[in-house]
Amino acid sequence: MPSKSLSIPLCALLTLAHIHAQEAPKYDAASVQRGKEFFVSHCGFCHGVNAKGGEKGPDLLRSVLVLDDENGSSLGPFLAHGRPDKGMPAFTLTPEQVTDIANFLHRAIYAAADRDTYQVHNIVTGNAQAGEKYFQAHCASCHSPTGDLKGIGKKYDPENLQDNFVMPRPEEHGKPLLTISVTTADGKTVQGVPEHFDDFSVALRDSAGNYYSFKRTTPETPRIEIHNPLQAHYDLLARYTDTDIHNLTAYLVTLK
């Protein structure tokens, strides 16, 4: 019986060994950067910003599909279909985007396999004063450097600190933050944690553990309201620039 401590499939280990033995592959830096930016904004929530696994998605640097991929030949069809049963949507991508994502992932796999070249880079490269201005303009209505964020620069190292605000977690202390309320045609309202939601039905579980399911007869009936305390963070994801992220990180690490 195989050891339960072996978390990487044997074929994946052999592929990593092969990568390590090869001459260092050359990846187009601009392509890797584009792939990273797409991955972080579209995939990082589930798979982590470094593709090493996140809240729901597995570690892609150990994925057999990714390890066996060549220039996006396997990734492209997979991304086009997605895994709807696992909560992964399908993506409509250009061949260049598939190549960029593949280059980003393969470069990360090689870096992880080759311990001689692996480096941990200092991500505190921004301007703290500019980060403070950004914070006051976009974050201060909900957060306070002397209140809920006091000492956050001591609580987290820079990488995890940046990860927390770029990829906000949908749970806190193991409890879902997202809630939903459903108001039926007769005026009855039920609120709880969403279990299912699509164009045809909605289901939730209330604080007492009771399960409710409602058929959606029209887009407005029953009336559905989604409450997400992290919505402001998700809205910022579409507006952040690299400079904004680095400046904000440089400011937050000063909150000791």
pLDDT given at position 178: 84
Region 145-157: mean pLDDT is 92
Backbone angles phi, psi at 89, to 5 degrees: -75, 165
Region 23-27: mean pLDDT is 69
pLDDT in tens, 56-94: 778 888 787 888 888 888 899 999 988 887 778 888 999
> 89 and 81 in contact (C-beta within 8 Å)?
no
pLDDT given at position 230: 83
pLDDT given at position 214: 93
pLDDT given at position 198: 80
Measured CA to CA, the distance from residue 19 to residue 225 in angstroms comes to 50
pLDDT given at position 141: 93
Measured CA to CA, the distance from residue 248 to residue 145 in angstroms comes to 12
Above 90 in pLDDT, residue 195? no
Max CA separation in the chain (angstroms): 69
Region 146-172: mean pLDDT is 84
* Averaged pLDDT score across all residues of the chain: 82
* pTM to 2 decimal places: 0.49
Residue 242: pLDDT band (50, 70, 90) is confident
Residue 172: pLDDT band (50, 70, 90) is low
pLDDT given at position 6: 34
